[in-house]
Amino acid sequence: MKIAIILSGCGNRDGSELQETLSLMLAIDRRGWQYQCFAPDGQYAVVSHLDGSEDGEMRSLFVESARIARGNILPLAQYRPDDYDALALPGGMGAARNLSTFAFDGAAMTVRPDVSHAILDTYKAHKPILAMCIAPMVLAKVLGPYGVRLTLGQPCPQADIARQLGAEIEYCNPTEVCIDRLHNVYTTPAYMVATRISEIFQGADNLVQALA
């Protein structure tokens, strides 16, 4: 199996959450499967991982995502569902700030057109879509009109907004997976509720195992 992973920068405050992303990669690799990282082009605002402040610095979304992939990354524009068995979105605030505007606009959020097209094309190809942590909010916006079921962990404001967007919500503990067989969508809460890195890996492993 070969899984495409969409990254959103580097670091949990303004990009892809590293522990979630690496746990996802390891879970895929441990099964002898393959993954290929993708990222959109464009700039994003840097957030300090020490105090959450912003000083106006801008960085390349694609270049920063390449740090996680050790340089083995492709532009999202090159993603084609026919070439992969599944699509995955790890968490981190990059999903809410860079792939979408959820962090700024809440229920009025938009999703980058290239990200939305990748998700919709995969959905219409009847291939699995995986998401971790806050990334299911992106699926709620794109696939909510289809009634997709997903998790954002335990009761929270984000889950309420996902419902407003049309998604059905299932409450899960850190290592559990919400499996929507009808829509071929698999989600796990990760750091929406987890407190330990071991929970992150177990959740990612269970997420990937659900595809087997």
Query: Beta strand pairing status for 58-60 and 43-45?
Result: antiparallel
Closest residue by Cα to residue 98 from 15, 38, 190: 15
pLDDT at 204: 98
pLDDT at 52: 84
Task: Give the tens place of pLDDT for each residue, 72-126.
Answer: 999 999 999 999 999 999 999 999 999 999 999 999 999 999 999 999 999 999 9
The first and second tokens of residue 149, run together, are 């079921």
Q: Which of 10, 133, 172, 178 is flagged as catalytic?
A: 133
pLDDT band at residue 198 under the 50/70/90 scheme: very high
Closest residue by Cα to residue 206 from 189, 192, 193, 183: 189
Q: List the beta strands (DSSP E) in 61-165.
A: 73-75, 86-89, 129-132, 149-150
- Are 50 and 14 in contact by the 8 Å Cβ rule? The answer is no
Find the mean pLDDT for residues 1-13. Answer: 96
The third-level CATH classification (topology) of the domain covering 2-209 is Rossmann fold (3.40.50)
**Entry pTM:** 0.96
Find the mean pLDDT for residues 49-78. Answer: 93
Q: Where are the alpha helices (DSSP H) in the chain?
A: 18-30, 61-68, 94-97, 102-105, 113-124, 136-143, 157-164, 197-209
Find the mean pLDDT for residues 7-29. Answer: 97
Where in the chain are the domains? 2-209
The first and second tokens of residue 12, run together, are 């949990």
How far apart, in whole angstroms, are the C-alpha atoms of residue 198 and residue 37? 23
Give the angle subtended at the CA of 103 by the CAs of 97 and 107, to the nearest 5°.
125
pLDDT at 58: 87
How far apart, in whole angstroms, are the C-alpha atoms of residue 9 and residue 191? 17
pLDDT at 175: 98
The set of residues, in sequence order, having a beta carbon less than 8 Å from that of 71 and lying 6+ positions away, is none
How far apart, in whole angstroms, are the C-alpha atoms of residue 152 and residue 146? 18
The first and second tokens of residue 188, run together, are 């796990």
Task: Give the tens place of pLDDT for each residue, 66-86.
Answer: 999 999 999 999 999 999 999
pLDDT at 63: 97
133 annotated active-site:
yes
Q: DSSP code of 44?
A: E
How far apart, in whole angstroms, are the C-alpha atoms of residue 120 and residue 114? 10
How far apart, in whole angstroms, are the C-alpha atoms of residue 37 and residue 40? 11
pLDDT at 185: 98
Q: Is the pLDDT of residue 158 over 90?
A: yes
